[in-house]
Amino acid sequence: VDIPFGGGKGGVEVNPHELSPRELERLSRGFIRATADILGPDRDVPAPDVYTNSRVMAWMADEYSLIMRSQQPAVITGKPVARGGSKGREDATGRGGYYCIKEIEALRKWSPAKIRVAVQGFGNVGRHAVRHLADMGFPIVAISDASATLHRDDGLDVEKLLSATKPADDDGRKPLKEVEFDADRLESDELLTLDCDLLIPAAVGGVINQQNAGDVQARYIVEAANLPVTCAADEQLRERDVTVVPDILANAGGVVASYLEWTQNHQRYRWPRKRVLEEVESMLRCAWEHTRKRVEDEELSHRQAAYRVAVQRVHDAMELRGL
């Protein structure tokens, strides 16, 4: 997506659902105290991921500012708007996959009402993706979270489901297994092999692997999670002509929005939500076009093409530095 951010991961091995809010705050602040020496607005900028939310990021930003004895909003992204966060950040990752699907729809001349969609993961990313796709007219035939899968051949009532699982506060949303809903109930992992046209894994990594790739019936997979399709599974799917839009493109809306939040923090100026989402869409559309051109010109998979675009940019930048 051509932004001046690299890629790295860090975290704590813990189940936050087993912690009290006070314990979670102490853990979040402790993580920043342990890593403060390697962080910085122009060095290493953490962003939210699995089991983190805007409240956790606010604690982290506050702790770093206390350590530095000055306000440092640009060191952490994914913060609440009231604490220097960006408008539009909350649904940016879900929108990233949605924008890619819009491009595929135009390219393949899809009739949305005939494209059955299954979404694995009903957290921040999955919920927003489901809402946008339903608004476009795509029937959402299955949705799952860690507790259950809800399935209905003629499509689920998305608005009712969103309302039924809406969280009362920041502590989490109601699991699907606890929701009374007119739909078939399946095991969580059964969603991946259901009869559908478009599959969106929006939960965790490695869910489509060598063991189940042959059972996947979808013709299109849009990776809204990080690495939900393993390398071995990717090869199997390509041999079966299944199109996989890779995570570095499909879920890049989140990192683009983090970059825009970081930019606003440096400017000490907050942009309107409309501008933020327009910037996210513009940058993702540009990334899609570069990837699609490589797919067509070099007969590559979307993953291979996206990786080549990314590596080429790093190569060009290093060459200009004389490395």
Residue in this structure with the two tokens 């979270």, named with its chain if needed = 145
pLDDT value of position 167: 65
**Cα 113–Cα 150–Cα 139 angle in degrees, nearest 5:** 5
Q: Is residue 200 within a helix (H) or strand (E), and if so which, with residue range?
A: strand 198-201
pLDDT given at position 49 = 85
Q: Which two tokens stand for residue 137?
A: 């007219």
177 is catalytic: no
143's enclosing H/E stretch is strand 140-144
Other CB atoms within a 10 A radius of the CB of residue 3 amount to 15
Residue 5's pLDDT is 86
- The one-character DSSP state at 82 is G
DSSP-based three-state secondary structure for 33: helix
Q: What is the pLDDT of residue 171?
A: 52
Greatest distance between any 2 Cα atoms in the chain: 62
Number of helices (H) and strands (E), helices first, in the chain? 10, 7
Choose the catalytic residue: 9, 109, 174, 177. Answer: 9
Note the pLDDT of residue 95: 83
Q: Give residue 172's pLDDT.
A: 60
Provide the 8-state DSSP code for 48. -
Same fold yes or no, 16-88+252-320 and 91-249: yes
Closest of 196, 226, 224, 229 to residue 211, by C-alpha: 229
What is the Cα–Cα distance from 79 to 87, expressed in whole angstroms? 10
d(CA 248, CA 285): 13
pLDDT of residue 272: 97
CA–CA dist 38, 20 (Å, integer): 28
What is the full DSSP assignment across 94-142? HHHHHHHHHHHHHHHT--GGG--EEEE--SHHHHHHHHHHHHHT--EEE
Does 3.40.50.1220 match the CATH number of domain 91-249?
A: no
d(CA 268, CA 264): 6
CATH node for 16-88+252-320: 3.40.50
The SS3 call for residue 8 is coil
CB 141 within 8 A of CB 116: yes
User: What percent of the chain is modeled with pLDDT above 70?
Assistant: 98
Task: Give, for 257, the enclosing helix (H) or strand (E).
Answer: helix 253-267
Question: Which of 275, 283, 278 is closest to 256 using CA atoms?
Answer: 283
Distance CA 282, CA 47 (A): 21
Domain layout of the chain by residue ranges: 16-88+252-320, 91-249
Please list the pLDDT of the chain residue by residue as tens digits (323 residues): 999 887 788 889 999 989 999 999 999 999 999 999 999 999 999 999 888 999 999 999 999 999 999 999 999 999 999 999 999 988 887 888 889 999 999 999 999 999 999 999 998 889 989 999 999 999 999 999 888 899 999 999 999 998 888 765 555 677 888 888 888 998 888 899 999 999 999 998 999 999 999 999 999 999 999 999 999 999 999 999 999 999 999 999 999 999 999 999 999 999 999 999 999 999 999 999 999 999 999 999 999 999 999 999 999 999 999 98
